[in-house]
Structures are given as structure tokens and as C-alpha cells.
Amino acid sequence: MVRFQYLVKNSAMNLTTKQKQYLKGLAHDLKPVVMLGQYGLTEGVLAEIDSALNHHELIKVKVAAGDRDTKKLIVEAIVRETEGVQVQVMGNVLTLFRPSEEKKIQLPR
């Protein structure tokens, strides 16, 4: 019997509490750079989030969802598709981090 091994790209980082606190401090003064509108999460929105993460590494996304369950599903989809790390969700605003090749943000250990 032949077994196939599938390599799953797992770039999900695990941030320590100290690193999350540091990123929350950096994100405090940031304004949302991407806002989800009436059409929800589309390929164009995901492309914009990906572009913003490549450029800034740390961004805020405003998720306009009607209820908590929908918002939670949208946030999970954004994190999964962008391969970023959810720093926090406060109200309707998701703070997202993904290191770029230039490593603009130096995380504490």
C-alpha cells in the first residue's frame, strides 16, 4: 500500500504573552487600514489585507459583522488565509501580525 504524505504549510507563529503585549502597544495608535463592507470577505479584501501585511507587518482590520458568530468566522478566515497571527480582537477591530522578509518589527523574546 502506497501512502501519501501531504506537507501542509504551517507558518502559524505562536506568540508569547510578552510578545502579544508588545504588539498591542505598537498597535494602540494604529487606525484600521482595511474595512470589510457590505460584501463581506472577498478575494479583493483578502488581497488588500495581504498587501498591507507585507508592507506594515502589523495592521488593524475593521470587521463589520452583525453578530458575534459571524464575526468570529470572518476573523478565523482572515487569519487562516493570510497566514497571520491574531494579536487581539477588540469590538469590531482585529489586530493582525505577520512578519515580512524585512523584519520591520523586532519582537521581544
- Please write the tens of the pLDDT for every residue from 59-90: 999 998 888 999 999 999 999 999 999 999 99
Domains in the chain: boundaries: 17-97
Smallest CA-to-CA distance from 15 within 70, 58, 78, 44 is with 58
* 17-97 topology per CATH: Translation Initiation Factor IF3 (3.30.110)
Per residue in 2-33, pLDDT (tens digit) is: 332 222 233 457 899 999 999 999 999 999 99
Smallest CA-to-CA distance from 34 within 93, 98, 89 is with 93
Entry pTM: 0.84
